[in-house]
Amino acid sequence: MAHSGDSVLILDFGSQYTQLIARRVREHGVYAEILPCNVPVGDIHKFNPSAIILSGGPQSVYAEDAPRCAPEVFTMGKPILGICYGLQMIAYDMGGEVDKSASREFGRAELIIEDKSCKLFSDIAERTSVWMSHGDKVTKLPPGFHVVARSHNSPICAIANDEKRIYGIQFHPEVVHTAGGSQLLANFLFDIAGVKGGWNSQNFIEATIADIKKKVGDKTVICALSGGVDSAVAAVLVHRAIGKQLKCIHVDNGLMRRGESAEVVHTFRDHFGIDLDFADAVELFLTRLAGVSDPEQKRKIIGKAFIDVLADEAKKFSDAKFLVQGTIYPDVIESLSFKGPSATIKSHHNVGGLPEIMHLELIEPLRELFKDEVRTVGRALGIPEHFIDRHPFPGPGLAIRVIGDITKRKLDLLRAADAIFIEELRASNLYHSTWQAFVVLLPVQTVGVMGDERTYENVCALRAVSSVDGMTADWSRFPHDFLASVSSRISNEVRGISRVVYDISSKPPATIEWE
């Protein structure tokens, strides 16, 4: 595991905020990892955390099928912080009582701190605004605990057992709406659990390089380099560890953005001196995709073609023993819940059955990092900023942004329109404040006028959203003059598109991508 020093284990009871807890802990320079709440106690001992945080969750602790953690968690002698469901779990499992609340509490609430000597609330105002999301409440304290804070709706809103260093809070300190939430987590980590901190991108890089060297020895390693942030950072990190033993393969599938393949080759071959094999597979992908409109079918065809090309290219490196993959932490925990971990990672995050086909062992140097942490590591490794700050790009590429069947002409139209949109965003200083922006080519043709002639040409949609993590997203409120400029440029410069529309759907109910 590529971290040094103290670490915090977060047991997940199914809360929508669990990832956020890990991010907040890491912001304090402390390594945090998430495991399902029902993880065997032996795995917890193996992880050997400095402290344990119990997440929130949607269930009621007294329900028959309620998610539980191993009872030994409370007798390990580790400092524990229970959040929302976590508080109720502590109360319920340690001899207190939890019941349905007469009125549920969602959103902002005022917290009144009654025990000002409690270390958990050091440097937090006596009356403070917090974020609630619960329908149950603790009605009877477990033995050895006392009430630290209350709210209008929850007389027992924070509890403490200072001797055992076990604390529970009904509100969510990890969300930005809780004033003093970051301070509370810092109090728990540093004053109560006594962790040292100091986990950062530099010591992550050093520890990971040491791990890779030890694992790989003198063997050859293959990396599929797409040009996305994750694969780029993974490749440079592994190259830093083993140099020429790394063999990168870039597959041009014809579904990339304008000039992308040439840029990947130039950056990684020339700038970083990485041994890069270039595979021109445009014809293969377009032939296999011809006439296919169903998005899921497109994904499967692209995944299979990618594996075929990569396996073929990899024959050049028959002595290879490892395959690098840019898996990141949200991919790993996406399907983790209290029901137990699932090994499935979204299909476009990995290279299908390639490790099995080629009998290769996986190296996933970024699997412990969130996206923003990957970017920080990339900057520390000297990867150019325009690679690092790129908007997310789907694994199937432009195939799922051409709605309907795919042809080279449609892809070229989309590439040209998309390049204009991104150029204009950068020129107007709107690119960095946007989570993701792109153009979608619609299977619709409408009447237009070019000069004195009537035309019958394509429609494209601009899509731009603001988001923190892609889980939810709101459409970007761009100035009308900016949208007018983009529309005008696309209509004038891209022969074949005569109408531009702007997508103002949020996620939910819509997704960010159209397919």
- The residues assigned a catalytic role are 84, 172, 174
* Size (the chain), residues: 515
Largest CA distance in the chain: 85
Residue 28, CB-side half-sphere exposure with 13 Å CA sphere: 26
* Cα–Cα distance measured from residue 379 to residue 205, given in angstroms and rounded to the nearest whole number: 11
Q: How far apart (Å, rounded) are the C-alpha atoms in residues 454 and 444?
A: 16
Q: 44 by DSSP, 3-state: which?
A: helix
Specify the 3-state DSSP secondary structure of 65.
coil
Provide the pairing of β-strand 158-161 with 146-151.
antiparallel
Tokens of 67: 């998610």
Cis-peptide, bond into residue 508, ω within 30° of zero = yes
> For the chain, what percentages of helix, strand and coil (3-state, to nearest 5) are there?
35, 25, 40
Count of C-beta atoms within a 10 Å radius of residue 202: 12
Integer Cα distance of 374 and 234 in angstroms: 9
Residue pair 244/259 in contact (Cβ under 8 Å)? The answer is: no
| Cα angle 143-149-152, degrees, rounded to a multiple of 5 | 115
Could you give the CA distance from residue 112 to residue 84 in angstroms, rounded to a whole number?
Answer: 17
Identify which of 91, 84, 78 has the alpha carbon closest to the alpha carbon of residue 52.
Answer: 78
